[in-house]
Amino acid sequence: MSVQQETRSGGEALEVWIDQDLCTGDGICAQYAPEVFELDIDGLAYVKGPDDELLQAKGAVTAVPLPLLADVVDSARECPGDCIHVRRVLDKVEVYGPDAE
């Protein structure tokens, strides 16, 4: 199964990113979805790439694997810093997170 097929929800590929300026370092995201999120030595959360590499560039995005979609959405909903953004890949519209419509 390709990464694009894995990340489809309702026919649309999703990606996630974290705004480290708002991250409180609570680690709730890493508890819900450790395959997608990780706390770094600076105490802030970051997304991880498909090779499990921590993506530390500002605004770095990673695909949301379909089997982890519920965990990623729960992370966005429970995040005390409201810093987790899940958006559609195609048009970059946020579907879960603080800027979701």
Q: For residue 57, which amino acid is it?
A: A
- C-alpha–C-alpha distance, residues 14 and 81, integer Å: 21
Structural domains present in the chain: 3-96 (3.30.70.20)
Task: Look up the pTM and report it.
Answer: 0.87
Read out DSSP for 44-99? -EEEE-TTS-EE-STT-EEE--GGGHHHHHHHHHH-TT--EEEEETTT--EEESTT
What is the model's pLDDT at position 89? 95
pLDDT tens digits, one per residue of 47-73: 999 899 999 998 999 999 999 999 999
Greatest alpha-carbon pair distance for the chain in Å reads 37
C-alpha angle with apex 15: 55 to 75, nearest 5 degrees? 80
pLDDT tens digits, one per residue of 69-95: 999 999 999 999 999 999 999 999 999
